[in-house]
Structure 1
């Protein structure tokens, strides 16, 4: 272990030791038993100390890239196709049962789609990289069409100028609005209609623009791909493949489970500004999801609904305004970083956009992993029609859950600082310019740290979704 690694370990453990008793969003409605300033100081101090340490380094942090396990190609293919078939069956069953079955909130469609599919695959992507291109129901159906046609159906070339903007917009609609702001997740019928429309748009787009449509316009594909950059493990296939998403390619070699450093892929530039907007949307949407359960947001929402006269549209307007505020702050910080580091703004935008991913994923995991675990048990119940007597979370002390959540947030921010330092050296060149350009980004990340932990420290007054 290097000196930097030892120092970061001490900083992280120290900050978590101080922050562990804090209240976590979604687990308690009580006020935190320690002063909020101590929580912010300890966790924010971990990020600040990391930034100071790496600012003295004139080389990028060492990244791990070691093969841990190799799985024979035939066995890996069998597992992939079984998973793909099971997921397609689950997708079709969710539509059928959602349209024809009981319309209570805890039915197969609602439990399978929102916590198990949407959030569960986020957790998987954050651990081993995105499996979505193998599981995607519309890509499975598209593959069947391709086999019938003898070639990939495609009427037009995908417009290069669109990039991943369709995916970024779709993420705001699907996750930001449908999942977090609407009644869709509590209605089996609305859930079934939503995923059916989603599948229709994806399939029609695939037939018109080919496979490039799925890579650039599918919000879940683009989102899980970004989340997979943070994963400490990745699944590769054959020589030269890189990540789970490429397992659908023409490579025929063995599958390899590879250990990687989270800041490595997060220091590689995003493909376009649409992907950068999606990265900001990922940070913002999970922050908003936690924020809207706080007393402060509830008060603002009531004021907007009643005093300003927005009614049921108040939450939607607040969400949209908040997103553009986040996007604007990120844009201004990147412009300032580029000016101080004497670098190109567009290049800095794409590079620093990727460094937001550990923050988004760390907070997303902290915010959602207890929800995913509880929902997996609910999924077993609705699938087997048998009650689950014991739950794993019931035997875990609340302090342990709080501690892991704070740890996830802090680790995400520390990894983001490391990635941002690597980006600064690459984009701005010299160590002096890198320090100057890195400084505004560190301030932004400290702000994200404080906001995330402030949300965790607030009592819960409402549960959404």
Structure 2
């Protein structure tokens, strides 16, 4: 395992056997058919958010909510964090022999995707910073201002993706120790002022996990009951909080930049630019994130022009971008997780220079999975946006009202596939 592989998702994708024509045509057809079918067959809102779900047995809820269960998970998270810290402090400064970089970039960052989809917001239960904070909580914490929303978490995610994709020596123990120290300091200082509610607003991994968990079949109703539900109900319950758009655009933009970073033209730009390569790459990352945000902002502006009664166009449809971000994450990181994840665990068990398992899919299978993940994410986004549209717009304008979003999703889809085959 090399630092470059860890830092750039699945590594080179230039040899994936993708036919541009079939990839683009299939994606466009899937989106168009979905849009037309929804317009003809789906005239009223069907998603009920936090009111939906089939309750799990009471015994399951008692075990899940038991103090002993919560304490065990907190201790597990603290023990794993301590193990990573010891490897950073005492282990070799070599990602091929030290599992700490893989633990952060693969098991945490990528592993939170399947964990949150299957089990819900798991990092909230494992977060070692919550455990540290609980040792000495403030007596009179202040409420987190409503205007803050999850903006601090969006900023934290941007910094982490910069560390993952741009920063030089991003797998060195010194770099990671400094990054963890800064992250820990910022989070604990905020929690000392605002209490443990701060983590739900500012911890990038907790917010990341909580947003992905909106697509989990396991969730909670408004009354606190643990339920099984359609992921669409969970997605519909996503709070329209300040910073939601920024957070999702960071996820979209950073995964798009991960694809761009393997493009030969971009590599040539980094090598020939008169600016420092790190500065050029930083500007590139910021530009891609800004482009994703600007496209969505233009779409929201068009929605506002179409219906002046829509007072919150930015946040009203932001939840529909979450499946798209998930599709991008799966497309870019699946291969990394299933190969480097087990290798990291083997190294942590004491085996140096462990070999990565053989990829479960060949180039053709991986290419199919990547395109399918991106297209499926966008189709789910179209469904979520349509349901919200028929709820917010008058019936005569419900379909026309989501045209800007549909065009945006086509652009995101074609852009995502273009980065895969570039």
User: Is 1:165 paired with 2:151?
Assistant: yes
Distance 1:226 1:34, change over 3 A: closer
Distance 1:184 1:125, change over 3 A: farther
**Aligned with 2:228: secondary structure?**
strand
Superposed, 1:222-261 pairs within 5 Å as 222-231=207-216, 233-236=217-220, 240-241=223-224, 256=226, 258-261=227-230
**Aligned with 2:402: secondary structure?**
helix
Cα distance between partner residues in 1 of 2:235 and 2:95:
37
Cα displacement (A) at 1:297: 2.3
Structure 2 residue aligned with 1:456: 420
Structure 2 residue aligned with 1:19: none
Cα displacement (A) at 1:411: 1.5
Q: Is the 8 A contact 2:14 2:421 kept in 1?
A: no
Q: Is the 8 A contact 1:270 1:353 kept in 2?
A: no
Structure 1 residue aligned with 2:195: 210
Distance 1:269 1:389, change over 3 A: closer
Distance 1:29 1:323, change over 3 A: closer
443-452 vs 114-123, which moves further: 114-123
After superposition, give the CA deviation of every residue in 1:202-234 in whole Å (9 maximum; x if it has no partner).
Answer: 112101111221111111222221111122x22
Structure 1 residue aligned with 2:257: 288
User: Is 1:373 paired with 2:358?
Assistant: no
Cα distance between partner residues in 2 of 1:241 and 1:184:
45
Q: 1:331 aligns with which of 287, 297, 301?
A: 297
Distance 1:398 1:79, change over 3 A: farther
Alignment length (residue pairs): 407
Cα distance between partner residues in 1 of 2:419 and 2:29:
18
Cα distance between partner residues in 2 of 1:283 and 1:367:
11
Q: 2:240 aligns with which of 263, 268, 271?
A: 271
Q: Is the 8 A contact 1:268 1:351 kept in 2?
A: no
Distance 1:219 1:295, change over 3 A: same
Structure 1 residue aligned with 2:75: 85
Cα displacement (A) at 1:269: 5.6
Structure 1 residue aligned with 2:318: 353
Superposed, 1:61-80 pairs within 5 Å as 61=46, 65-67=53-55, 71=60, 73-74=62-63, 77=66, 78-80=68-70
Cα displacement (A) at 1:197: 2.0
**Aligned with 1:279: secondary structure?**
helix
Q: Is the 8 A contact 2:87 2:100 kept in 1?
A: yes
Cα displacement (A) at 1:157: 3.2
Structure 2 residue aligned with 1:251: none
Cα displacement (A) at 1:387: 6.9
Distance 1:415 1:400, change over 3 A: same
Distance 1:412 1:206, change over 3 A: same
Distance 1:361 1:266, change over 3 A: same
Root-mean-square deviation (Å): 2.6
Q: Is the 8 A contact 1:66 1:260 kept in 2?
A: yes
Structure 1 unaligned spans of 5+: 1-24, 147-151, 243-255, 459-465
Distance 1:379 1:297, change over 3 A: same
Cα displacement (A) at 1:51: 0.9
Structure 1 residue aligned with 2:6: none
User: Is 1:115 paired with 2:106?
Assistant: yes
Distance 1:153 1:372, change over 3 A: farther
Q: Is the 8 A contact 2:47 2:387 kept in 1?
A: no
Cα displacement (A) at 1:131: 0.8
User: Is 1:46 paired with 2:11?
Assistant: no
User: Is 1:129 paired with 2:120?
Assistant: yes
Q: Is the 8 A contact 2:110 2:333 kept in 1?
A: yes
Superposed, 1:196-207 pairs within 5 Å as 196-207=181-192
Cα displacement (A) at 1:388: 9.5
Distance 1:62 1:217, change over 3 A: closer
After superposition, give the CA deviation of every residue in 1:46-65 in whole Å (9 maximum; x if it has no partner).
Answer: 11210111122211356773
Q: 1:318 aligns with which of 272, 281, 284?
A: 284
What TM-score comes out, normalization by structure 2 length?
Answer: 0.88
Cα distance between partner residues in 2 of 1:327 and 1:132:
26
32-41 vs 389-398, which moves further: 389-398
Q: Is the 8 A contact 2:339 2:356 kept in 1?
A: yes
Distance 1:154 1:93, change over 3 A: farther
Q: 2:401 aligns with which of 431, 437, 453?
A: 437
What TM-score comes out, normalization by structure 1 length?
Answer: 0.80
Structure 2 residue aligned with 1:142: 133
Q: Is the 8 A contact 2:147 2:242 kept in 1?
A: no
Distance 1:394 1:168, change over 3 A: closer
Q: Is the 8 A contact 1:153 1:207 kept in 2?
A: no
Q: 1:262 aligns with which of 231, 234, 239?
A: 231
